[in-house]
Structure 1
Amino acid sequence: MPKPKHRKKPKVVKQDGLVGTAPTGNKKKDHWVILAIFTIAALIGAILLPAIFNRGQAQLGGGGVNISQLEEIVKKNPQDIDAKDALGTAYFNQGSSKLQAGDQKGAQQDLQRAIALFNDVLKVKPQKIETLGDLATAYYYTGDTVKAIELAQKALSINPDFTPARLNLAIYLSSQGKYQEAINELKKIPATSPDYATAQARIKEYQQALTQPAPSGTGSAGTGSSTTGTGGTPVPGPAPAPTPAKPAQ
């Protein structure tokens, strides 16, 4: 006689000992367990991520930009214009900081890198006024005031309301002793502009310079000493540093 077939007993799935891997049957308890896990994960992330991000960063005047990471992105994809622009800005900011700190050699190296990258960007996006503005200042810092003036004027031809370029153009012109031209540019900044007070203060400085004999001596562009441009006429007193066209990163 054939043996009767027995139905297989259903397997019992046991809960393991890991918190949150299986429902406990208590919905309220499950909710708090899940919330606790996410809270702990968030705290760990808040502690570890800044340390990971800051590793290998190039510190730029209180902020930080991972230049090495941007270099890798540009190396892998040379056609990534936005990455090139970001890398150029990072070198520009770093070079500007080094210049203010008195590291002339390091500043010039960084600024030359920024110039090369910005020029690549403008070949593809010639209307990018922020890049034009920072490229102008990079040329000014490396001693090519004529090129700086040309680029600032180009940025203003695209957008006459681009105040950073106009403020900087006045600085470039004044470094060549062209105080009246600098004043004329600053007068174009309207009273509604946040930079109006700065423009008015510089107008007074340049008006005084027009009535005073030029002192002897030379200095470095944007470093706080008397500045000599390609025109050979020094600016009396400290020369203000040009305004970055892009916000600090």
Structure 2
Amino acid sequence: MANEFPQALTIAGADSDGSAGMEADLTTFFTLGVHGMCVLTAAVAGNSYGIDAAHNMPTAFIAQQFKTLAADFHIRAAKTGMLSDSELIHTVAAHVQDGAVGPLVLDPVIITKHGAMLLEESAYETLRQELIPLATVITPNFFEAQKLAEMDIKTDEDMITAAQKLQDLGAKNVLVKGAHHAGDQEEVRDYALLEDGTGFWLSAPYVATDRINGTGDTLSAAITAEIAKGTSIADAFRIAKQYTYEAIAQPIAVGHKFGPISHWAPKVQK
């Protein structure tokens, strides 16, 4: 029977070196046993050294991709990657609201893992006001959680408070990713807050490597894949955390600088 196989959607840009963005999302979907499809929002010319050029897709074309997919497929969960401006965020929000893409995992790509702002303030405010209230799950990194919650995070209690503030903005379930500090850090701890108000910590050993391109994309894509398969949110968080850790812990020699993680390593071990 048509559309019985679990299907998930990534709403993201294409990363030409394959390490992040749409490519990382689709690879994660594949290795976790879900058929992946995409709404392409942008394309970048990049490699392990950095990005040399980028091009946004016209919003009319983005809207048509949503309509075309909805006319044929049963998308059971969707996730976002970087959404570069307010017009694009408006377009995505409108099509998420109609329910055709299933539960939304919002990876709020607004600040890098090193603390650099990626979005202009107007686009940030649009994302905060229009997409966060539609999110079944939101997965901010440490700096994004601080920005969105409008507070400094220095303690475990601060992380819990930040997660609660993100729920107050409308997100149903929150996974606040812990800080990654080079040096003597032994583990990375994330805090999960569920819709019913219960929370728990997830931890994994800290891996000292510069081959971490696409880790945030991978984590949110793994959560999306598990939701598409019918996994509970709590278990989706746990599976995604372990999957991402294993992919980071077994790096592959691709590129010269900030290389990709190994998406197939967790699959090989299962």
Higher relative contact order (CA 8 A, sep 6+): 2
More helix, by proportion: 1
Q: Normalization by structure 1: what TM-score?
A: 0.29
More strand, by proportion: 2
Structure whose alpha-carbon radius of gyration is higher:
1
Q: Normalization by structure 2: what TM-score?
A: 0.27
